[in-house]
Amino acid sequence: MEVSNSNFRQLLPDIISSIDNSCFVAVDLELSGIHKTFGPRNTPLNRKQTLEERYKEVKAAAERFQVLQLGLCAVSYDELLESYVCRPFNFFVNPNSEQKFGLDREYVVQASAIGFLLESGFNFNSTYTSGIRYLSRREERYVIERENRLAQEFKEDIHIDEASQQFVKDFIAEIQEWVDDPNPTFDFVNISTVGQGVNSYQKRLIHQVVRKTFPHLQTLGRPTFVQVIRTDPAAEKMKRDERRARFETDVERGIGLRHVIDALFSSQKPLIGHNLFTDLINLYECFIGPLPDTSKEFAHAIHESFPIVIDTKFIATCDTETATYGSNLQGIWDLLSTQDFPAIGLDLGYTRYATSRLAHEAGYDSYNTAQILIRLIGRYQAYLSRHLASENGDPESMAIKHLLDYLHRLDRFPLADHRIDIPKRFPSLESGFWKVFTNKLRVNGTLEGLWVLGK
């Protein structure tokens, strides 16, 4: 489903409900640029990076580049249909924020990344015309602190120059006369100059002098004059309360797309991605706040929010011999799409991708990621059951070997694959069945090759 700034508020409850009622959520991002690995300084270019070096490299890129599109696919299981039901959402991300918040984001555009997205049909105009604005958690704190300061602080006093001395004496006298009058004609007095109004300097003088000389009075700036009225404590409190309520409403609306991210984090649903290491770093930097200094600290932060994280790229390359094999998202799905079980369907109202192949649209890629997980695990489960029944060797290792042989076509589609009994539903993601695959993310090109969460 395409979610734009025009229908976001209307769809938000359904999006949050889809997350809360899912058994897992798949995510994907499109970015204005990605990290480039040229090798550490003063070291041979053919030396592999450490995981820590790669984390710092991707972190630096995430701080420069912008999330342009967010894809999210919430997946549930329909007992009656015996099918997994997908609800994919596609969001363009608008980097602009309301001027009233005092923010003006800057980000870098990488020519190669933009060229790649254009070739894939990405519509950059939609980023601004249809994209959804947001405030990260860090930005929200800044906006609130800024408002608190503005509500409490007064402008510093300015010097009253010699030419304005008489002007000040005159309006003090005018105000004093109005204050002393037991029956004034009006409940206000307007301070101006004959035929010319007051300039910005004179206005500031009036506000400053009245605040110090007549603390029980209030000044209201007008285009050509300043109006002085008596302070009504109850009315002042009401005015402050109304301003705060308007501000809080503005912030709630300004949070925008981050409401979806907050729902995702608070749900603690199993989080699925393909090559998830990079997406997690960029998701956190964009919507949460500054990234931790080390990969270990970041792993801890992610594991607290998402106890179960699964990288389909790791499943497709889960031993050292296959870690470097081709494992791009679309290629894996092309192979698995002919598999009948477990059954997968799109929910009513979410059928945009039923007949459209929109590779590198974030919503479509998140949907493909969800399908890949379901079909990969269904096939692994079938192999595992067969080897458990045969009682030969280590059933888990043998099941993984057959899965990877199938994926990488090493055995050229052995006939046994066409006779395996693939189940209609896989075990709960909280069960021990998943221990081989959970919280392990593939990071190709590093010495470790793997990023493990929960440590």
What pLDDT shows up at residue 42? Answer: 45
What pLDDT shows up at residue 41? Answer: 47
CA 315 – CA 44 distance, rounded (Å): 31
Could you tell me if 317 and 401 are in contact, meaning their C-beta atoms sit under 8 angstroms apart?
no
How far are the Cα atoms of 44, 303, 342, 375, 401 from residue 271, in angstroms, in the given order? Answer: 37, 10, 19, 17, 25
- Euclidean distance between the first and the last CA atom of the chain, given in angstroms as a whole number: 37
pTM of the model: 0.85
The helix/strand/coil state of 131 is: coil
What's the token pair of residue 147? Answer: 């408002």
Element (H, E) at 25: strand 24-31
Q: List the beta strands (DSSP E) in 192-329.
A: 217-221, 226-230, 271-273, 309-311
What pairs with residue 158 in β-bridges? none
Q: Which residue has the tokens 């101006």?
A: 192
At position 52, the amino acid (one-letter code) is: E
CA 15 – CA 351 distance, rounded (Å): 15
Fold (CATH) for 136-236:
Ribosomal Protein S8; Chain: A, domain 1 (3.30.1370)
CA 261 – CA 270 distance, rounded (Å): 14
CA 29 – CA 363 distance, rounded (Å): 9
Could you tell me which of 392, 400, 385, 394 has the C-alpha nearest to residue 437?
Answer: 400
Low-confidence ranges of the chain (pLDDT < 70): 37-46, 153-155, 410-419, 455
Q: Residues of 132-167 as b/e, b for ≥16 C-beta within 10 angstroms?
A: bbbbbbebbeebeeebeeeeeeeeeeeeeeeeeeeb
Q: Which residue has the tokens 């970041």?
A: 298
Helices assigned H by DSSP within 223-257? 233-255
Could you tell me which of 100, 70, 55 has the C-alpha nearest to residue 8?
Answer: 70
Domain ranges of the chain: 2-134+256-378+431-452, 136-236
Q: Do domains 2-134+256-378+431-452 and 136-236 have the same CATH topology?
A: no
Residue 425 is given by DSSP the state S
The helix/strand/coil state of 6 is: coil
For domain 2-134+256-378+431-452, give the CATH number.
Answer: 3.30.420.10
Element (H, E) at 45: none
Could you tell me which of 272, 290, 227 has the C-alpha nearest to residue 62?
Answer: 290
What pLDDT shows up at residue 194? Answer: 79
Rounded (10°) CA dihedral 112, 118, 120, 125? 130
Rounded (10°) CA dihedral 347, 351, 356, 359? -50
Could you tell me if 95 and 107 are in contact, meaning their C-beta atoms sit under 8 angstroms apart?
yes
What pLDDT shows up at residue 155? Answer: 66
Taking residue 198's Cβ as centre, other Cβ atoms within 10 Å add up to 22
What's the token pair of residue 92? Answer: 């363009």
